[in-house]
Amino acid sequence: MTIKAKIAVLISGAGTNMAALVYASRIADCPYEVVLVASNDPQAEGLALAQAEGIATFALPHKGLTREAHDAAMEAAVLEAGAEYIVLAGYMRILSDGFVVRWAGRMLNIHPSLLPKYKGLDTHARAIAAGDSHGGTSVHVVTPELDAGEVLAQIAVPIVAGDTPDTLAERVKLAEHQLYPRAVADYVSRWRDPVALLERVRNLALAFPETDERESHGSPGFRVGGEKSGKYFAYFADQHHGTPHIACLVRTGGMDELLNLVEAQPEVYFKPAYYGASGWIGIILNRPGVDWDAVAEWLTRSWRGAAPKRLTRLLDVADEF
């Protein structure tokens, strides 16, 4: 049995998306479970359903509290419930930047438009007024900029003759109820999916100049410097030599640095078999909350170490300023 990801769902109203998430979680093999339903409105209809389903609930009106204080109380409830992800489902509050940043990569939202169209409010009225053929819904990662994080999944929903914002909203919700549980399930599974992890490493590695991908001892490897004299600067290792890790291997400055990092952060780094002996470190990717900016920085450093002078000269000059 695999361990289920724990999610907290934040609502402000009817909570039909929350209900869809809960019922999907009741189907065998769903990779998440709902451990908390929280609201800024104690009267939110969805709270009663969550209670009837035996799910912990928390409600705190935001009136009279600063945004930060209200967010802090919601966050405390989320942490208390042991949630690893926050899933916003019709939570009609703008969150403070600090809260969003602390949950970077672990907070999702569903928005009733085909993003990047119609961020903010009154999405259905705006789609109808613009004469659009379709409205729709998007699931996205939450970032400090409103409704602007990576879009994970969308469904377009036709606008039919005579539609009002309400009739369209109702139809869009039917699509949302299908989309959100699936998108959340996929997202919480992402961190252990070798195909998704390789894709991410590949996108980062091949973004550097003059790089190519070539298999080495059965692993995808990434090289810089052209067909003949290319040098490897990264490998992708999927549970090699009996380790449970899916990892990106990059070159460190040497054995001291490698061993220090492994000792200080064993949940992040390990010394890979064979490669470790020549200063390559493994960055563990199959864990929630990987800092992909840090992975990108490692790849940059490793690429610079392997790239021919003519490619790094400009960067070296820039470093001197």
- Binding test (CB under 6 A) with ligand GAR, winner from 7, 8, 10, 11: 11
Identify which range of 12-20, 181-189, 264-272, 299-307 contacts ligand GAR by CB under 6 A: 12-20
**Upper half-sphere CA count for residue 293 (Cβ side, 13 Å):** 2
155 versus 237: smaller Cβ distance to ligand GAR: 155
Buried b (16+ CB within 10 A) or exposed e, 258-271: beebbeeeeebbbb
Residue among 154 and 312 whose Cβ is closer to ligand GAR: 154
Residue 96, interface with ligand GAR (CB under 6 A)? no
Site string for ligand GAR, 166-205 (x = CB under 6 A): -------x--x-----------------------------
- Is 93 within 8 Å of 40 (Cβ atoms)? yes
User: Residue 218 Cβ, how far from ligand GAR at the closest point, in Å?
Assistant: 45
Q: Site for ligand GAR (CB under 6 A): how many residues?
A: 14
CB of 87 to ligand GAR, least distance (A): 11
Determine if 13 is a binding residue for ligand GAR (CB under 6 A).
Answer: yes
Q: Which of 62, 70, 111, 140 is catalytic?
A: 111
User: Which residues inside 134-173 make contact with ligand GAR, applying CB under 6 A?
Assistant: 137, 173
Lookup: tokens for 172:
């869009």
By CB under 6 A, tell whether 75 contacts ligand GAR.
Answer: no
Question: Considering only 22-30, 110-118, 211-219, 281-289, which stretch makes contact with ligand GAR by CB under 6 A?
Answer: 110-118
The Cα–Cα gap between 139 and 164 comes to: 23
Q: Nearest-CA neighbor of 185 among 3, 24, 56?
A: 24
Say which DSSP state 179 is in: H
- Which residue minimizes CB distance to ligand GAR? 90
Task: Please tell me the distance from the alpha carbon of residue 101 to that of residue 217, in angstroms, as a whole number.
Answer: 39
Is 241 among the residues known to form the active site?
Answer: no
SS3 content of the chain, % helix, strand, coil (to 5): 40, 25, 35
Given the DSSP bridges, would you call strands 231-238 and 85-88 parallel, antiparallel or unpaired? unpaired
Q: Which amino acid is at 286?
A: N
Q: For residues 281 and 262, is the Cβ–Cβ distance under 8 A?
A: yes
Among 70, 111, 171, 190, binds ligand GAR (CB under 6 A): 111
Edge-first strand listing for the sheet containing 269-270? 211-216, 219-224, 231-238, 246-251, 280-284, 269-270
**Interface with ligand GAR (CB under 6 A), residue from 8, 10, 15, 114:** 15
Using rule CB under 6 A, residue 90 touches ligand GAR: yes
Among 89, 107, 115, 139, which residue sits at the site for ligand GAR (rule: CB under 6 A)?
89
Q: Do residues 267 and 282 touch, judged by C-beta distance below 8 A?
A: no
Residues annotated as catalytic (active site), given as ranges: 111
Footprint on this chain of ligand GAR (rule: CB under 6 A): 11, 13-17, 89-90, 110-112, 137, 173, 176
